Structure 1
Amino acid sequence: MMSDKNKGILIFVLLYTILFVFDGVRWLASLMPSTIANYLVYVVLALYGSFLFKDRLIQQWNEIRKTKRKFFFGVLTGWIFLILMTVAFGFISELLRQFFGLVGQGLNQSNIQITFQEQPLLIAVFACIIGPLVEELFFRQILLRYLRKSLPTWLSVFLVGLAFALTHMHSLSLSEWVGAVGYLGGGLAFSIIYVKEKENVYYPLLVHMLGNSLSFIILAIGSM
C-alpha cells in the first residue's frame, strides 16, 4: 500500500506534469488573467513541495550550516560550470538555427522578455526564486533521485536534463526543438551538480537561482 509521503509525491508530479507538460496553465488562464494563473500555480507548487520535503530540506540545510565554506565554493564552481554548459549548448543551438535557416528566438525566451517589460520586479522574483525552487524539487529532488535507483547515473542525468529542456518548449515546431538544445545545457548542469553534491538540492537550487538572476541582469541592461 502506498505511503502518505509517496501519495504526496505522486500528487506533486501529476500537478507539475498536467500544468506544465500538458499546458494545464493555459486552461487556468481561461478562468483568470494568464499572469495570475502562472503566478498562482508556481506559488501553490512551491509551498506544497516545500511542505512535502520539509524534513529532508531541513536536514540538508543543517548539513550546509556545518560546511559553509564547502557550500560556498560548491555553488561558485557549479555556477561557473552552468555558464560554460549554457554557452556551449547555446552555441550548438545557434549553429542549428543557422543551419535550418530559422529566425527569431524561442517562445519561452520571447514570453519572458515580454513579461519582464510589463512586470519586471514580479517576473524576476518568480523566475529567480520561486520558479527554480519548483523545478529543482521536481527534476532533481523527485525525478533524478528516483531514476537513479533503477538506472545508471549517467543515463538518469541525461534523461532528466532532456526532460528539463523539453518542458521549456511551447510547441512541436522545429524552432522550439532547436531552442530546447540551449536549455539542455542547464538541465544537464543542474543534474550533474545534484549528483556531485550527494543529492543535496540546495546546491543546484542556488546555482539555478544565480543563473536565472544573471540572465535577468543581462536582460535588464539590454532593455535600457
Structure 2
Amino acid sequence: MKKTGDQLDIIVKILILIGMFIAVVLVPEILDVGNALAKQTPWAMYVAAAVFLAVYIGIACLGWWIIKPNLSRPQFTKFTWPEIKMVLIGYGLICILSMGLNALMNLVYGSAMTQNQTNVNDLLSTNTITLIVFSFAGAFIAPFVEEFIFRGIVISYFFKHQAWWLSVILSGILFSLGHASNNLISFSLYATMGMILAYLFKKSGQIKVSIALHMLNNTIAMILTIMTLVSAK
C-alpha cells in the first residue's frame, strides 16, 4: 500500500516536491526543442507537441497518484452550488487583484505584462502547432498539474493537520516561484493568486474546486492572449 505524507520522511517529501517542481517548470522546453529542430526537420514540431502533451499528462497522473492517499474525502464529485460560488468569487478576487497589481506594475515599471506572460506570448507566437498545443495544455492540463503540486503536495503532504494559514501562504509563494517573475509586483501577483487557490482547496477540502478556478482563469487568459496576438498581426 502506498505511504501517505504522514508516513514519509521529511527529506523524501522535500525531494518529491522538488522533483515535481522541476518537471513542471522544464516541460515547456520540449516545445522549444521541437521549434529549434523544425528549422531543419519540419515534422520534429509534431513529434515535440505529442511528447509534450504525453509528458504533461504523465506529470498530472503522477501528481494525482502521489496526493490521492493523503486526501481523506472523495474528490471530483459533482459540483455543489456553494462550490460553484466559491469558484466565481475566487475568480472575481483574482481579477480585482490582477487589475490593481498590473496597474501598479505599469506605474512603477512602465509595463503591465509579467515576464511569465511575455514568455507565454513568445511561445504562442512561434507557430500554429505550438499555439494550439500550448493553449490547450495551459487551459486544461496545467490546472491539474499545478494544483496537484502546489496545493495537493505542498498542503496535504506537509500541512495536512496543522498550520492552516502558513500552508496557504507557502503554497502561494511556491506557486509564484514556478512562474517567471522579473519584479516584486509580478511575484506578488502570482503569490496572491496561489494563496486564493490554496484557500479554496483548504476551505472546501476538494482539489476540484481550486482546479476549476485555475482552469477558468487560464482559459479566459489564453483566449484573451490569442485574441491579442491575432489582432497584432
TM-score range, shorter chain: 0.7 to 0.9
Letter in 2 for 1:189: I
% same residue: 21
CA distance in 1 between counterparts of 2:227 and 2:31 reads: 30
Q: Residue 59 of structure 1 aligns to a residue in which SS?
A: coil
Letter in 1 for 2:76: W
CA distance in 2 between counterparts of 1:150 and 1:95 reads: 42
- The answer on whether the counterparts of 2:21 and 2:178 sit within 8 Å (CA) in structure 1 is no
Q: Residue 169 of structure 1 aligns to a residue in which SS?
A: coil
- Deviation of 1:200 after TM superposition, in Å, equals 0.8
- 1:48 maps onto 2:62 in alignment: yes
Number of residues paired by the alignment?
208
Q: Which runs of 5+ in 2 are unaligned?
A: 36-47
1:183-198 alignment runs, 5 A limit = 183-197=190-204
Q: Which runs of 5+ in 1 are unaligned?
A: none
- The answer on whether the counterparts of 1:165 and 1:187 sit within 8 Å (CA) in structure 2 is yes
TM (normalized to structure 2)? 0.72
- 1:125 maps onto 2:131 in alignment: no
- 1:89 maps onto 2:101 in alignment: yes
- 1:60 maps onto 2:72 in alignment: no
CA distance in 2 between counterparts of 1:3 and 1:93 reads: 45
Q: Structure 2 residue aligned with 1:112, among 98, 117, 120?
A: 120
Q: Provide the residue aligned with 1:33 in structure 2.
A: 34
- The answer on whether the counterparts of 1:89 and 1:184 sit within 8 Å (CA) in structure 2 is no
1:1-224 alignment runs, 5 A limit = 3-6=2-5, 12-20=16-24, 23=26, 33=34, 36=49, 38-53=52-67, 56=71, 59-62=74-77, 65=78, 68-98=80-110, 105-117=113-125, 118=127, 119-149=130-160, 152-169=163-180, 175-197=182-204, 199-223=205-229, 224=231
Query: For each residue in 1:118-149, what CA deviation from the matched residue of structure 2 results, as whole angstroms up to 9, or x when unmatched?
Result: 23321121001111100000111120234434
CA distance in 2 between counterparts of 1:48 and 1:216 reads: 25
| CA pair 163-69 structure 1, distance change in 2 beyond 3 A | same
Query: For each residue in 1:151-170, what CA deviation from the matched residue of structure 2 results, as whole angstroms up to 9, or x when unmatched?
Result: 53222211211111111127
